[in-house]
Amino acid sequence: MFQNNPLLEQLKKKLNQKTPRVEGIVKSTERGFGFLEIDAQKSYFIPPKNMKKVMHGDKISALLKMEKDREIVDPETLIEPFLKRFVGKIEKKNNQLFILPDYPFLKDSIVIFYPKNNYINLFETGDWVVANLVKHKLNGHSIFCAELIEKIVKKNDPLTPWWVTLSRYNLEKKAPLIEQKDFLLKDQFNRKDLTHLDFITIDNFNTKDIDDALFIKETNNGQFFLTVAIADPTSYIELGSKLDIAAYERGFTNYLPGFNIPMLPRELSENICSLIPNERRPVLACSIIIEKDGNILNTADFFLAWIISKEKLSYEDVSNWIEKKGLWTPSKRSIQKQILLLYKLCLSRIKWRTLNAVLFKDSLEYRFQFEEPGIIKNVVIEKRRIAHKIIEESMIIANVVGAKFLSRNLGFGIYNIHSGFDSSNAENAVSFLKNYNLKFNSKEIRTLKGFCNLRRVLNVLSNNYINNRIRRYQSFGDFSITPSPHFALGFSEYATWTSPIRKYSDIINHRLLKSIIKKESSIKPSEEFKFKISEQRRRNRIAERDISDWLYTLLLQKKEYQNRKFSAEIIDVSRSGIRAKIIENGANVFIPALFLHPIREELILNQEIGKVFINGNLHYKISDLIQITLFEIRLKTRSIIAKPDN
C-alpha cells in the first residue's frame, strides 16, 4: 500500500536532505576496515561491512552517521573510481576467470566478464592482462566486474617487469613500424661540406643512436672555436607524415634498464641518421666561439652541413687516457688533439659555471647487469667521469646558444625552464636557512642571480641535509614555448636541440632553427604540445622507476644478500617510517616506525623537517648514513623492508 506513495517519497527526500554527507578518498587497511580521507587533517572511519561497497582509492560521497558513539560513514555515491583501466594477474577458480589488480591495497579478486564460452581456455592462473572496471557496487551492481582488454604476458616470463609496467602506463613496447620506403632524404638544401674535418663522437660502448659529433680548434689568442654537429632526422621526416606522427605520439626514446624503446624506427635512429664513424651524414651544425676563461661569445652561427665522423670513442677509454690509466690510446695524433682541446674547453667551462651559473655535485648512478634478457645479475655503480663532462659541457654550450638564437630570431621554441622558488617557498627557504646563520631574503633568491649565489654558497658549505631541504622548496623543471630562465642550471634561457633522434621537442627546435637558416616561415609550438611532452616524460620516468624497483626485489631476494649489512642514506621521512637508499646498489628500502623504536608514543617522525626524534632526542635525519639489514622482500608490492642496525 505504501509503494509509489508520493508522501512517503517526500518524507524520504526530507530525511536525506537532513542527513550530513561528506566527500573524500577511501583508504583501506590490512584489517578490513578503512577511512574516508576528507583532507590532510580530517578522516572518518569506514566499518568492514561498508568497505565491501568500495575500493581503496575511490572518490566517493558518503552518509555521516553515529554508531556506538562513534562517527562513521556509509558510502553512498561513486564520484570517481580508483580502478578504470588497470593491470592485474589472472586467477582461475571453478571454471571462472578472476583478475587480481596489481595494487598493494587491493586484496580481492574481481570477476571477469567475458562473452565467449571458450574465452577461459586462453588464460592460465598467473598470466598478466589489462582490464577495464565495468561494474561497481556503488553504481547499483551486486559485484565488482571487469572486462579484459588485452593479454600482456604469460606467467613467469623473464620480461614480465618491462611488459607489465609499460602496459600499466600505456607506453609503447616496440619501435615504430614504418615502411623503409619513407626513409629517404627529403631535404635538398645546399649544405656545407665539412667531411674533411676530424669530427669525433664520445658515447657508451654500446650506443647505436649517436646524435652528436664535435670538432674543435684553438685560435692564436687562446679562444676555442667549437663546431657541434647534430644528426638531422628532420631531413628524412616530413611534418605531418606517418613517421612524424609516430614520433610525436611517443615524445621520447624510452630508456629502461636493459634496453630502450626508440622514438624513431631503429633503421633511422641507429643507422641512417646515426653519426656512425666513416659514414657521410647530413647534420644541423653550429659554430661557437668560447673565450679561454669559458665565456661564450654571442656570435654563434647555425648552418646545415655534411660530416664524416672519424672515430667513435667511448667514455671509458677517453677518461682512462686523460687520467693516464689503462692501455688505450687515440688512433692518431689528430684525434688525440681533439680530445685534449675538448678537455681544455671542458675545464674552462666548469670553472666559468662554478663562478657564474650553477654547478651541482656529481651523484652516483647505477646500471643493472643481466645474465640474459630479463635475468638480473648485478647492479654496478657508474661514476660520471671526465669524458662524460666533456660531452655534457659541449652540449650545454650548444643548447645555451640555441636558445638565444631562437629567442633573437623568433621569440619562441621549446625551452627547458626551471623557476627556482615560488613566493611562499622562497619565504620557507629563507626561514630555514636562518637556523644555520645563512642570511638571504626571499626577493633576492627569486632572481636568477640571487638563486645562483645561493647555490654557490650551499656548494661551498657542502651540507647534504641543508641541500636536501632547500631542494624540497624548489620548483620542478618544465617546458615553455617562450623564453624563460632555467634557475637550476643558472641560465637566462635554455633550449635543447642536440638529441633529435631521442626527443620530439628537439625535432621541433630543429625545424625552427632550419626555418631561420632557410628564411622560411615558422610554426609556433602549441601549449597543448608542451603539456603532452611533460606528461610523456613523467610517465617514462615513473615506468623506469617501477621497473627498477621490481628488479631490485628480484635481485635482493637472492641468498647472497640475506643477513648482509648495507650502508644506506636516509632520503625521506614520513609518518609511517623512513626511506633510505643502499649506497652499494641504489635500491630504495623502507624502515617502518616500529623498527626505529618499539614505543610509538616516544617516537616523532617529523616529515616537514626530515628528522626523527626518540624521547625528544634527534636520532635520524635525511642525508644520514646508517647501517641496515634486509628484513623482508615483498615481490607482490615490489618493496624492500629493512631494519636499522642500532
Residues noted as catalytic: 203, 209, 211-212, 315, 502
Task: Write out the E strands in 456-544.
Answer: 478-480
Other beta carbons within 10 angstroms of residue 365's beta carbon come to: 12
Relative orientation angle of helices 333-356 and 386-409, to the nearest 10 degrees: 70
Angle between helix axes 333-356 and 448-461 (nearest 10 degrees) is: 100
Q: In the 8-state DSSP scheme, what is residue 252?
A: B
The helix/strand/coil state of 575 is coil
Integer Cα distance of 2 and 530 in angstroms: 60
CA distances from 128 to 148, 261, 315, 478, 553 (A): 11, 21, 39, 34, 19
Taking residue 435's Cβ as centre, other Cβ atoms within 10 Å add up to 10
3-state secondary structure at position 123: coil
Q: Which residues contact 165 (CB under 8 A, 6 or more apart)?
A: 543, 546, 547, 550
Cell 642500532 maps to which residue?
Answer: 646
Residue 185 in grid coordinates? 632524404
Count the helix, strand and coil residues of the chain and give each as a percent rounded to the nearest 5.
Answer: 30, 30, 35
CB 397 within 8 A of CB 346: no
Element (H, E) at 401: helix 386-409
Q: Please state, in angstroms and as integers, the Cα–Cα distance from residue 110 to each residue in 23, 34, 131, 282, following that order.
A: 25, 19, 10, 55
Chain-centre distance for alpha carbon 360:
19
